[in-house]
Amino acid sequence: MISANDLSPAELAALLHFHADAGVEWLLEEEAIDRFAEFEAMKAARRPAAQTQPSAAGERTPLGENRTPPRPATAVRPAPAERAASGPQPAIPDGEAVQQARFVAESARSLAELKTAIEAFNGCNLKHSARSTIFASGDAESGIMVIGSAPGAEDDREGVPFSGKSGQLFDKMLAAIGLTRSVILLTQVIPWRPPGNRAPSAAEMDICRPFIERQIALAQPKAILLLGNFSARFFFGENDTIHGLRGRWKEIAAADCVIPAIASLHPQDLLTAPVNKRLAWNDLLAFQAKLKSLSLLRN
């Protein structure tokens, strides 16, 4: 086993990032535990002088005569289930949570109201394990919307969509077609990071759907770029991979809005497989051409 003392600061930082990306986000117990006191109590329980216990008549009987030895006086710690129950938990079943999400979303008359409503919503389990609620950012009046899948570890830590290395690549992708974050509306399908970056469950998707659809309805974009396999499947209703869904214009509906949308690979996919950058570049050019045809982007 490698000791932490043998690692450089950079190696320690990389190790911590590795555990964070794997979903390990809490390294401490919720309540302080005195391990020294635990150890001393265990030693005291094992001392020869303490190896007797009172009998039913009040006499002390040596251990070994069908008697149970005293348990060490360790600190009382709640079981994992009890610790989980002590935190905030959704108080409504999934079906009712979907109805509540729809009511909350439809009641919002602006993106600012919707943001406040989502931050106060407690009907989705994902919120209870996430640090941040990721909401739309940028220019809602631009007519240009980019939608990612779900927050990653860096997004959750920073509270901003497309953070970290994938965010840096995303900025370069925008710049290549004459865009920046400030001139688009950037958001994600799911506002909370799934633990360990797992795929959201069907129930979680149903609960979050009213929120992203309301964002689209309030912003009323003229064109949408979907990034990632999950985002494309979510809106297109197909089970194909991103390679089968990308590069083709389709229409998606939100409330009374019907908007043209095109899907492409997520920046994280491109970091994993740089050879696919040529595919993403073709998709970006198609998106750029659509924006120009709609007079949303200067020639």
CA 77 to each of CA 33, 41, 82, 249: distance values in angstroms, whole numbers, following the listed order? 8, 15, 9, 56
In single-letter form, the type of residue at position 258 comes to V
What is the structure's pLDDT at 16?
63
CA 207 to each of CA 98, 123, 126: distance values in angstroms, whole numbers, following the listed order? 5, 8, 10
In single-letter form, the type of residue at position 238 comes to E
| pLDDT > 70 in the chain, percent | 70
Torsion of CA 81, 84, 89, 93, to 10 degrees: -30
What is the structure's pLDDT at 147?
98
Distance CA(64)–CA(69), nearest Å, equals 9
What is the structure's pLDDT at 44?
73
Q: Give mean pLDDT, residues 90-112.
A: 88
Q: How high is the mean pLDDT of the chain?
A: 82
- CA quadruple 133, 138, 141, 145: dihedral positive or negative? negative
What is the structure's pLDDT at 72?
45
What is the structure's pLDDT at 85?
39
- Band of the pLDDT at 31, cuts 50, 70, 90? low
CA 297 to each of CA 144, 219, 270, 291, 292: distance values in angstroms, whole numbers, following the listed order? 9, 17, 25, 5, 5
- Band of the pLDDT at 94, cuts 50, 70, 90? confident
For each of the domains in the chain, give its residue range(s) and CATH number, in order of start: 93-292 (3.40.470.10)
Q: Give mean pLDDT, residues 161-165.
A: 95
